């Protein structure tokens, strides 16, 4: 079986949900399939040709912004003529669908992830374009995978299409104790703190979370993210970096350091709102962290209603101030048990394999 994976920036991965999925599919399936992953040479610093037994194929177009639709479309057109199956991740290739034959459309396996058209980083016009691309993909692809029950229900209600439910994994996260070196670098580690690792974009409710913690007489917030990758991130960092009770850290790509920071937090804050299952949430659950999550509807599905949920900054601030009134140890244990049962990459890759080969 010759499989192409299309729709991501590339691998090796830093933070991206679809990139994380691709890495672990490659790790577990490349021994049984001939896998090619399409990558953007404009976005990737490394230009490996082979990664974990998968071939990497580069296109000289960025995967970001409006040009991402061009990148996805060119990748999909190239892949659909060359490979037995194409796993497409996202929405950007939708406008290619009218150009394909029925036989080619049947090769396509789709995972849209979340509802990207709902992200408030897009203009109203861009949201309409993305929604139309989503429609063209869902109505014309051969098979659909949903990573969240909420997304599965949305696809069925909106398009009357069935999809296979396959979540993300979280077992790449490893519990790590505080090391002397880490305590020097991060002196807050031996005291109570809240923690989140996230892409710095508005639909992840960065402003809401910062507002809840800034100048608050509660435990501090440590937030790790790619602050310098957008104007929004840079402006938000400048506006908050000197505020009491928030510690803003730049993106950390050393997994051991990141795992130490996550493993030893008092509570984990998850603000994503745009739907789907986010890998950082699955990882936090796998580590047994007590999760306070934004009440998006999708986050409740991912956590099996076992976390604590907030709707706005005022609610989150009150919850954090009163965190000791929650049985946070039990919340973490319940989430961990669910993650160990449902969010394991080996099992998830096997489910993908069954869909790809069927």
Alpha-carbon span 89 to 98, nearest angstrom: 18
Q: What is the CATH number of the domain that holds 116?
A: 3.40.50.2000
Q: Which residues lie below 8 Å from residue 23, measured CB to CB, with a gap of 6+?
A: 11, 12, 13, 52
Residue 262 sits in the same domain as residue 124: no
How many C-beta neighbours within 10 Å does residue 17 have? 24
pTM: 0.88
Examine the domain organization and report whether 193 and 163 are in the same domain.
no
Does residue 162 sit within a domain? yes
Q: Residues 185, 307: one domain? A: yes
Same domain, 11 and 137: yes
Q: Are residues 214 and 300 in the same domain?
A: yes
The CA dihedral of 256, 258, 261, 263, to the nearest 10 degrees, is -70
- The answer to whether residues 336 and 275 belong to one domain is yes
Beta-strand relationship, 221-225 and 164-165: unpaired
Residues 6 or more apart whose Cβ sits within 8 Å of residue 179: 260
Contacts 24+ apart (CB under 8 A), 126-134: 126/66, 129/69, 130/91, 132/94, 132/95, 133/69, 133/91, 133/92, 133/93, 133/94, 133/95, 134/91, 134/94
221 domain residue, yes or no: yes
In order of 12, 26, 283, 346, the CA distances from 350 in angstroms are 21, 11, 19, 6
Task: Judge if 297 and 188 occupy the same domain.
Answer: yes
- Identify whether 174 is part of a domain: no
On whether both 118 and 213 belong to a single domain, the answer is no
Q: Helix, strand or coil for residue 37?
A: strand
Q: Cα separation of 87 and 5, whole Å?
A: 5
Q: Does residue 175 fall inside a structural domain?
A: no
Residue 253 forms part of a structural domain: yes
Q: 103 and 186 share a domain?
A: no
In the chain, how many domains are there?
2
The pLDDT profile of the chain, 358 residues, written as one tens digit per residue, is 999 999 999 998 765 688 989 999 999 999 999 999 999 999 888 889 999 999 999 999 998 878 889 999 999 999 999 999 999 998 888 899 999 999 999 999 999 887 777 777 778 888 898 889 889 999 999 999 998 888 899 999 999 999 999 999 999 999 999 999 999 999 999 999 999 999 898 889 999 999 999 988 899 999 999 999 889 999 999 999 999 999 999 999 888 999 999 999 999 999 998 767 788 999 999 999 999 999 998 899 999 999 999 999 999 999 999 999 999 999 999 999 999 999 999 999 999 999 999 8
| Coil, helix or strand at residue 90 | coil
154/302 same-domain check: no
Does the residue 318 lie in any domain? yes
**CA 239 – CA 218 distance, rounded (Å):** 20
* 199 and 263 inside one domain: yes
Q: What is the dihedral of CA 182, 183, 187, 188, to 10 degrees?
A: 80
Let me know whether 125 and 149 are in one domain. yes
Domain that holds residue 318: 180-342
* Displacement of CA 143 from its chain's centroid (Å): 21
* Structural domain includes residue 255: yes
In a domain, 252, yes or no: yes
């Amino acid at each position: 079986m010759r499989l192409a994976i299309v729709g991501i920036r590339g691998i090796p991965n830093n933070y991206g949900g679809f990139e994380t999925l691709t890495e672990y599919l490659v790790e577990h399936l490349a021994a049984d399939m001939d896998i090619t992953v399409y990558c953007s040479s404009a976005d990737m610093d490394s230009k490996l040709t082979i990664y974990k037994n998968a071939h990497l194929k580069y296109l000289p177009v960025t995967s970001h912004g409006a040009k991402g639709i061009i990148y996805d479309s060119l990748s999909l057109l190239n892949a659909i003529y060359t490979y037995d199956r194409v796993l497409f991740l996202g929405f950007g290739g939708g406008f290619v669908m009218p150009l394909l034959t029925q036989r080619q459309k049947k090769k396509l396996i789709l995972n849209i992830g979340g509802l990207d058209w709902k992200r408030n980083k897009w203009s109203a016009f861009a949201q309409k374009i993305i929604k139309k691309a989503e429609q063209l993909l869902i109505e014309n692809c051969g098979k659909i995978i949903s990573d969240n029950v909420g997304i599965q229900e949305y696809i069925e209600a909106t398009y009357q299409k069935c999809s296979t439910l396959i979540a993300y994994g979280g077992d790449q996260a490893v519990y790590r104790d505080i090391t002397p070196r880490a305590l020097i670098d991060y002196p807050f580690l031996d005291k109570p703190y809240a923690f989140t690792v996230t892409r710095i974009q508005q639909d992840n409710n960065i402003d809401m979370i910062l507002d809840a913690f800034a100048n608050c007489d509660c435990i501090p917030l440590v937030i790790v993210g790619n602050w310098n990758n957008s104007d929004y991130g840079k402006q938000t960092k400048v506006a908050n970096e000197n505020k009491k009770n928030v510690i803003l850290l730049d993106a950390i790509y050393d997994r051991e350091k990141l795992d130490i920071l996550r493993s030893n937090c008092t509570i984990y804050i998850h603000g994503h709102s745009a739907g789907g299952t986010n890998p950082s949430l699955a990882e936090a659950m796998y580590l047994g962290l007590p999760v306070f999550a934004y009440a998006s509807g999708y986050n409740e599905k991912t956590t099996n209603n076992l976390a604590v949920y907030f709707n706005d900054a005022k609610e989150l601030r009150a919850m954090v101030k009163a965190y000791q009134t929650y049985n946070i140890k039990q919340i973490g244990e319940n989430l961990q048990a669910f993650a160990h049962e449902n969010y394991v990459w080996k099992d998830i890759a096997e489910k993908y394999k069954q869909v790809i080969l069927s």
